[in-house]
């Protein structure tokens, strides 16, 4: 593994998102002097926040999976998750609702889920689910050490026995193909394959290795921190501060000082200068490369993942849905073609409806509920022959439209009773410097996965490392935390990592 040469006593981390805070904790635990520069007045990055009229909104992730990885991050400085966070396991991961009126409650507990699948689709499908669950668990075990939590210097890095095991398991077929091997019911196949959209790829094209996302929520379990997901970066920042990390909020990076191929200092817009031996940048790769004054060479340009419109609303308490509801439209394959291939709005969108007050009522004023509705939409990358949407003018009308769809399918009267608190569109993500106006960064296609994803150690510098969604291992809360650790490993050399790190839920009744 390529690492930073020379002294690494002083490290500047750019960005107090999850990956930056993870990197800071791992570096502090290894005896480095760490300064974190964050342009906002609070930590979180993509795990953003907004306070509006007594409501506390999470504008990024809405739940946590893989708490063992969170635990590992706190443990880097001798701290613990239990000391910093109050995690609530969700008894139902999410409720799936289908166009034919049928409903399925998804559980990570084995017995509960077997019973629910049997009720929903019969005994044969329940048996298929058990085999699928076993395959998902084995898939995760094979991938974690060698492909998820590993630095890769070249495509040759993946040529290990684990690659053969992945191939034998069907990991390089499509997610839809592998899930269909276990389940015949088309509705159930959706439940265990839609997660590939988080990776920016249709289930019919996504590599089956990305079925590990389904493992993370449907097997290992889903959790919600009291106080909202914002409580996670707050807790990581508090642990970092107690470990001696210097957190500088309201500090916007202006430039890097260089001596040859080495960064010697980071300068901010506010006029501060921070001398350093190494830098970790969690900005999007194109921004980091701009600071370096170079552009990476790739045979094919990077492709961004689809984006999303999220509508946050307040409404009278008593809404009769759980923490997460997925409303599937009647259409399926065609909607992915519209979204990803054609760059058009989905004609029959599937929606993710989140009600965090189902778990923590304090996130809304007394007598009120907080709800968010997410609809996948195209990113801002230009497509030939497709007019670009002006989200600055189209955002509110589209928000009303998806609220009407949610009301028709799940919550009658929602569009009339809801007070819109905030609407986030690709234009908002773009203003936050997110690639092509998407919070999901680059799609995890074959040519943008593993060693083919933007590397976390640019060849044009000797001591600047990248972390975050745009580099390895990719998008998501657990992977962002791992990305920070991988970046720290590039600076200090790797530390021993337990083969079971991050593996939870297998063989136990996780909520």
Within this chain, do residues 309 and 379 fall inside the same structural domain, yes or no? yes
Tens-place pLDDT, residues 177-204 = 999 999 999 999 999 999 999 889 999 9
Q: What SS3 class is residue 233?
A: helix
Within this chain, do residues 245 and 293 fall inside the same structural domain, yes or no? yes
Q: Which of 441, 475, 504 is the last residue of a domain?
A: 441
Confidence grade of residue 503 (pLDDT, cut at 50, 70, 90): very low
Within this chain, do residues 315 and 415 fall inside the same structural domain, yes or no? yes
Within this chain, do residues 283 and 321 fall inside the same structural domain, yes or no? no
Tens-place pLDDT, residues 73-116 = 999 999 999 999 999 999 999 999 999 999 999 999 999 999 99
Distant-in-sequence, close-in-space partners of 420: CB < 8 Å, separation ≥ 6:
311, 312, 313, 396, 399, 403
Instruction: Classify residue 78 by its DSSP letter.
Output: T
pLDDT of residue 440: 96
| Residue at 398 is within a domain | yes
Within this chain, do residues 317 and 388 fall inside the same structural domain, yes or no? yes
Tens-place pLDDT, residues 460-480 = 999 999 999 999 999 999 999
Within this chain, do residues 328 and 248 fall inside the same structural domain, yes or no? no
Looking up residue 260, the CATH number of its domain turns out to be 3.50.50.60
Within this chain, do residues 400 and 382 fall inside the same structural domain, yes or no? yes
| Residue at 101 is within a domain | no
Tens-place pLDDT, residues 106-119 = 999 999 999 999 99
Tens-place pLDDT, residues 329-352 = 999 999 999 999 999 999 999 999
Within this chain, do residues 32 and 134 fall inside the same structural domain, yes or no? no
**Which of 275-284, 317-326, 490-499 shows the lowest mean pLDDT across its residues?**
490-499
pLDDT of residue 504: 32
The first and second tokens of residue 229, run together, are: 């997901």
Q: Which of 218, 241, 261 is the last residue of a domain?
A: 218
Looking up residue 399, the CATH number of its domain turns out to be 3.90.660
Flag whether pLDDT at 496 surpasses 70. Answer: no
Within this chain, do residues 326 and 368 fall inside the same structural domain, yes or no? yes
Mean pLDDT, the chain, rounded, equals 94
Provide the whole-model pTM: 0.95
Percentage of the chain surpassing pLDDT 70?
Answer: 97
Within this chain, do residues 334 and 417 fall inside the same structural domain, yes or no? yes
The mean per-residue pLDDT over the stretch 390-401 comes to 95
| Residue at 60 is within a domain | no
| Residue at 100 is within a domain | no
> How many domains are contained in the chain?
3
Tens-place pLDDT, residues 45-60 = 999 999 999 999 999 9
Within this chain, do residues 140 and 213 fall inside the same structural domain, yes or no? yes
Tens-place pLDDT, residues 121-170 = 999 999 999 999 999 999 999 999 889 999 988 888 888 888 999 999 99
Cα 319 from Cα 95, distance rounded (Å) = 14
Flag whether pLDDT at 505 surpasses 80. Answer: no
Flag whether pLDDT at 405 surpasses 90. Answer: yes
Q: Which of 300, 293, 298, 301 is nearest to 461 (CA)?
A: 293
Calculate ∠ Cα 400-432-425, nearest 5°.
15
Flag whether pLDDT at 426 surpasses 60. Answer: yes
Tens-place pLDDT, residues 203-232 = 999 999 999 999 999 999 999 999 999 999
Q: What SS3 class is residue 293?
A: coil
- Please state whether beta strands 278-281 and 64-65 pair in parallel, antiparallel, or not at all (unpaired): unpaired
Peptide bond into 473 cis (omega under 30): yes
| Residue at 97 is within a domain | no
pLDDT of residue 59: 97
| Residue at 104 is within a domain | no
Q: Are 220 and 141 in contact (CB under 8 A)?
A: no
pLDDT of residue 298: 86
| Residue at 253 is within a domain | yes
Structural domain boundaries enclosing 162: 109-218
| Residue at 460 is within a domain | yes
Within this chain, do residues 351 and 427 fall inside the same structural domain, yes or no? yes
Among the residues of 30-172, which ranges form H helices?
67-75, 81-84, 110-121, 123-143, 161-168
CA-CA distances (angstroms) from residue 230 to 163, 308, 397? 37, 20, 28
């Amino acid at each position: 593994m390529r690492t930073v040469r020379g002294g690494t006593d002083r490290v500047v981390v750019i960005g107090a998102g999850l990956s930056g805070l993870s990197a800071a904790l791992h570096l502090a635990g290894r005896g480095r002097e760490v300064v974190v520069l964050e342009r906002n007045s609070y930590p979180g990055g993509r795990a953003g926040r907004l306070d509006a009229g007594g409501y506390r909104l999470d504008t990024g992730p809405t739940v946590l999976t893989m708490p063992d990885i969170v635990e590992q991050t706190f443990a880097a400085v001798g701290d613990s998750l239990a000391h910093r966070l109050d995690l609530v396991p969700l008894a139902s991961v999410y409720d799936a609702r289908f166009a034919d009126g049928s409903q399925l409650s998804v559980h990570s507990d084995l017995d509960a889920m077997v019973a629910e699948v049997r009720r929903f689709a019969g005994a044969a499908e329940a048996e298929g689910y058990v085999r699928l669950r076993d395959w998902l668990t084995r898939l995760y075990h094979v991938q974690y050490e060698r492909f998820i939590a590993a630095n890769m210097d070249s495509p040759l890095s993946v040529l290990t026995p684990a690659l053969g095991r992945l191939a034998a398991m069907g990991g390089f077929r499509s997610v839809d193909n592998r899930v269909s091997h276990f389940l015949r019911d088309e509705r159930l196949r959706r439940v265990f394959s839609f997660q590939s959209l988080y990776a920016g790829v249709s289930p019919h094209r996504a590599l089956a290795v990305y079925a590990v996302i389904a493992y993370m929520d449907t097997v290992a379990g889903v959790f919600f921190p009291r106080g909202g997901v914002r409580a996670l970066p707050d807790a990581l920042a508090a642990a970092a501060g107690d470990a001696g990390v210097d957190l500088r909020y309201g500090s916007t990076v202006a430039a890097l000082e260089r001596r040859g191929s080495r960064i010697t200092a980071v300068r901010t817009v506010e006029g501060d200068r921070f001398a350093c031996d190494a830098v970790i940048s969690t900005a999007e790769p194109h921004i980091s490369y701009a600071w370096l004054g170079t552009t990476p060479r790739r045979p094919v340009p990077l492709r961004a993942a689809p984006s999303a419109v999220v509508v946050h609303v307040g409404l009278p308490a008593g809404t009769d849905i759980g923490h997460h509801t997925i409303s599937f439209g009647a259409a399926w394959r065609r909607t992915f073609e519209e979204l990803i291939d054609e760059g058009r709005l989905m004609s029959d969108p599937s929606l993710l409806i989140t009600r965090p007050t189902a778990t923590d009522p304090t996130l809304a004023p007394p007598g009120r509920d907080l709800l968010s509705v997410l609809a996948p939409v195209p990113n801002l990358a230009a497509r030939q022959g497709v007019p670009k949407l002006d989200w600055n003018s189209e955002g509110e009308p589209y928000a009303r439209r998806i609220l009407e769809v949610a009301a028709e399918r799940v919550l009658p009267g929602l569009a009339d009773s809801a007070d819109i608190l905030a609407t986030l569109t690709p234009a908002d993500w773009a203003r936050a410097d997110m690639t092509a106006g998407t919070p999901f960064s680059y799609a995890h296609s074959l040519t943008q996965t593993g060693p083919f994803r933007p590397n976390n150690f640019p060849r044009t510098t000797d001591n600047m490392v990248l972390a975050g969604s745009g580099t390895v291992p990719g998008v998501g809360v657990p992977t962002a935390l791992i990305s920070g650790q991988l970046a720290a490993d590039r600076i200090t050399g790797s530390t021993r990592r337990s083969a079971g790190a991050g593996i939870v839920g297998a063989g136990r009744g996780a909520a």
